[in-house]
Structure 1
């Protein structure tokens, strides 16, 4: 077997993250994707012909851009020889795109691949599965892709009728995590994200998006989801989502991740090819792992995934300088940290915020996190980082990166 080649990540960039129905709501996923791809070419000066493929992650696609990696590449000015496709591992899709790109480069199938993640949850489709058959007098039933996907992600044998929120409440009961602890983590996340915004810490990773409007175009250059005005009192005043059916419920919109719009991308290649293309690597992929568990306990799937990735790297949690653990729910983060033996206020964990504050545009999140991680490690004078996230349906991804 041919020895696997070393893989590095170059120039991870992302658009600002928009709120559901917010500043980026009128921008289709394809436009977000082409915007970040075009910026990646402009900032690196890489010849599009040097890119072998664009691997794109998207959780809520439409047929406006089938196999969106290919369509976005064509629209962004790549030649017809640059291939592309689309994948879906739900919340882990963006990171999976990076890992798929890495495997192609490691094995010599490709020399330089762009990993792309994109989601416009504001434009997630409403769909019908009866439309090609006889329509009854009641008409067609339209399903909301966002809510339906959370109900069906466990298949017939592992139903999740209350979606991801029900799974989060299960962890709350199992781990005995209080509402107060969840809201405290949510507040900490917002404060860290707002501080990063105000200090300009996100500037190097951001790509502005031009949004056309009736009165002219507007440039969106700042994450929309972090709230500078939130407080424990404001968070405490929100009603639990499942409060009507569960008197013990604690999960609210305030201590959960957002539904968001964004795109992110990076170049995955070898150190040698990076030098030839004039690229400056930021990260080296050290190891990665995927793990599965009961769909109703998907929130703690990062626990075994992280242990596997760290074991394969020959390191432990004490060796890490940065831990990027996506905040699907505050309760899920707290449960994972408890199992790892990491303090909830450990400054290494999401120092610039995460899903609760920055937002969680499903397909883009993994690469958004990677961009924040890549730019955050030097600021901490760190060398090793872990990126991990839970995945609806009972999976998790984890990857260890080293600063180059």
Structure 2
């Protein structure tokens, strides 16, 4: 077998993250994807013909852009020879797109691949599965893709009737994690994200999005989700999501990740090909791992995934300079950190915020995290970083990156 080639990540970029129904709500997923791909070409100056394919992650697609990697590539000006497809591993989809691109490059199937992640949760479809059989007297039932996906992600044998929130509450009970501890983590996430915004730390990774309006276009160039005005008192005043059915419930909208809109992309290639294309690698892929567990305990699936990725890399948590753990819920972050023996206030953990503050646009999150990680690592004078996230349905991904 041919020896696997070294893989590097170049030019990770992302759009600002919009709130559900917010500044980017009128921008379709395809337009977000096209915007970030176009910016990637402009900022790198590479010939689109040098890209072998575009692997796109999206959790809530429509048929407005089937196999959105291909359609977005065509709309962004790539030639018809550039291939593309779409994948879904829920919250891990963006990182999976990077890893799929890496495997193509490692094995010599491709020399340069763009990993793309996109989600417009504001435009997630309402759908029917009965319409083609005719309309009954009761009419058609429209399902909300966002809520339905959380209810069905465990299949028939592992039902999740209360969605991811119910699973988060199970971890709260199992680990004995208080509401206050969750709100403290959520506040810290917002404070770090706002500080990063105000200092310009996100500027290099951001691609502005032009949003048409009746009074002219508006340029969106900042994340919309971080809240500078939040406080422990404000977070403590929010109602729990399952309070009516679970007396001890602690999970609120404030200590959970947002529903968001964004796109992100990066170029995955070899160091040699990067040099030929005039690209400057930012990260080298060291190792990665995927793990599965009970869908009702999906929040702690990053524990085995990260442990295996670190073992394959031959390093320990103490060797890491940066830990990017997506904040699906504050409670699951605290549970993972407890299992790893990492302090919740460890400055290496999400130093610029994460899902609770920046937001969680499902398909884009993994590459959004990668863009933030790639720009934060040199600012911290660090070398090794871990990116990991839980995945609804009982999975997790983890990858170790080294500063190139």
TM-score computed with the length of structure 2 as normaliser: 1.00
> 1:317 matched to which residue of 2?
317
Query: What is the SS of the residue equivalent to 1:93?
Result: helix
> 2:110 matched to which residue of 1?
110
CA deviation vs aligned residue, 1:223-251 (integer Å, no higher than 9, x gap): 00000000000000000000000110000
Deviates more, 1:51-60 or 1:131-140: 131-140
CA deviation vs aligned residue, 1:43-71 (integer Å, no higher than 9, x gap): 00010000000000000000000000000
Q: Tell me how far apart the structure 1 counterparts of residues 173 and 370 of structure 2 sit (CA, whole Å).
A: 32
CA deviation vs aligned residue, 1:249-296 (integer Å, no higher than 9, x gap): 000000000000000000000000000000000000000000000000
1:275 aligns with 2:287: no
Query: What is the SS of the residue equivalent to 2:390?
Result: strand
CA deviation vs aligned residue, 1:290-326 (integer Å, no higher than 9, x gap): 0000000000000000000000000000000000000
Query: What is the SS of the residue equivalent to 1:118?
Result: strand
CA deviation vs aligned residue, 1:106-141 (integer Å, no higher than 9, x gap): 000000000000000000000000010021100100
Q: Tell me how far apart the structure 2 counterparts of residues 341 and 180 of structure 1 sit (CA, whole Å).
A: 20
Following TM superposition, by how much is the alpha carbon of 1:21 offset from its aligned partner in structure 2, in angstroms?
0.1
> 1:286 matched to which residue of 2?
286
> 2:119 matched to which residue of 1?
119
Query: What is the SS of the residue equivalent to 1:132?
Result: helix
> 1:181 matched to which residue of 2?
181
Q: Tell me how far apart the structure 1 counterparts of residues 239 and 67 of structure 2 sit (CA, whole Å).
A: 39
Following TM superposition, by how much is the alpha carbon of 1:105 offset from its aligned partner in structure 2, in angstroms?
0.1
Q: Tell me how far apart the structure 2 counterparts of residues 289 and 246 of structure 1 sit (CA, whole Å).
A: 35
Following TM superposition, by how much is the alpha carbon of 1:89 offset from its aligned partner in structure 2, in angstroms?
0.0
CA deviation vs aligned residue, 1:209-228 (integer Å, no higher than 9, x gap): 00000000000000000000
Query: What is the SS of the residue equivalent to 2:131?
Result: coil
> 2:3 matched to which residue of 1?
3
Q: Tell me how far apart the structure 1 counterparts of residues 42 and 131 of structure 2 sit (CA, whole Å).
A: 43
Query: What is the SS of the residue equivalent to 2:27?
Result: coil
Query: What is the SS of the residue equivalent to 2:55?
Result: strand
Q: Tell me how far apart the structure 1 counterparts of residues 341 and 90 of structure 2 sit (CA, whole Å).
A: 27
Query: What is the SS of the residue equivalent to 1:210?
Result: strand
Q: Which runs of 5+ in 1 are unaligned?
A: none
Q: Tell me how far apart the structure 2 counterparts of residues 81 and 332 of structure 1 sit (CA, whole Å).
A: 43
Q: Which runs of 5+ in 2 are unaligned?
A: none
Q: Tell me how far apart the structure 2 counterparts of residues 326 and 301 of structure 1 sit (CA, whole Å).
A: 12
Q: Tell me how far apart the structure 1 counterparts of residues 356 and 321 of structure 2 sit (CA, whole Å).
A: 22
What is the alpha-carbon root mean square deviation over aligned residues? 0.2
Q: Tell me how far apart the structure 1 counterparts of residues 139 and 76 of structure 2 sit (CA, whole Å).
A: 40
CA deviation vs aligned residue, 1:19-78 (integer Å, no higher than 9, x gap): 000000000000000000000000000100000000000000000000000000000000
Q: Tell me how far apart the structure 2 counterparts of residues 290 and 370 of structure 1 sit (CA, whole Å).
A: 17
Q: Tell me how far apart the structure 2 counterparts of residues 341 and 37 of structure 1 sit (CA, whole Å).
A: 39
Query: What is the SS of the residue equivalent to 2:354?
Result: coil
Following TM superposition, by how much is the alpha carbon of 1:359 offset from its aligned partner in structure 2, in angstroms?
0.1
Structure 1 stretches of 4+ moved >2 Å: none
Q: Tell me how far apart the structure 2 counterparts of residues 353 and 124 of structure 1 sit (CA, whole Å).
A: 25
Query: What is the SS of the residue equivalent to 2:133?
Result: coil
CA deviation vs aligned residue, 1:331-372 (integer Å, no higher than 9, x gap): 000000000000000000000000000000000000000000
Q: Tell me how far apart the structure 2 counterparts of residues 92 and 375 of structure 1 sit (CA, whole Å).
A: 20
Q: Tell me how far apart the structure 1 counterparts of residues 140 and 247 of structure 2 sit (CA, whole Å).
A: 36
Following TM superposition, by how much is the alpha carbon of 1:147 offset from its aligned partner in structure 2, in angstroms?
0.1
Q: Tell me how far apart the structure 1 counterparts of residues 229 and 392 of structure 2 sit (CA, whole Å).
A: 30
Q: Tell me how far apart the structure 2 counterparts of residues 367 and 327 of structure 1 sit (CA, whole Å).
A: 15
Query: What is the SS of the residue equivalent to 1:13?
Result: strand
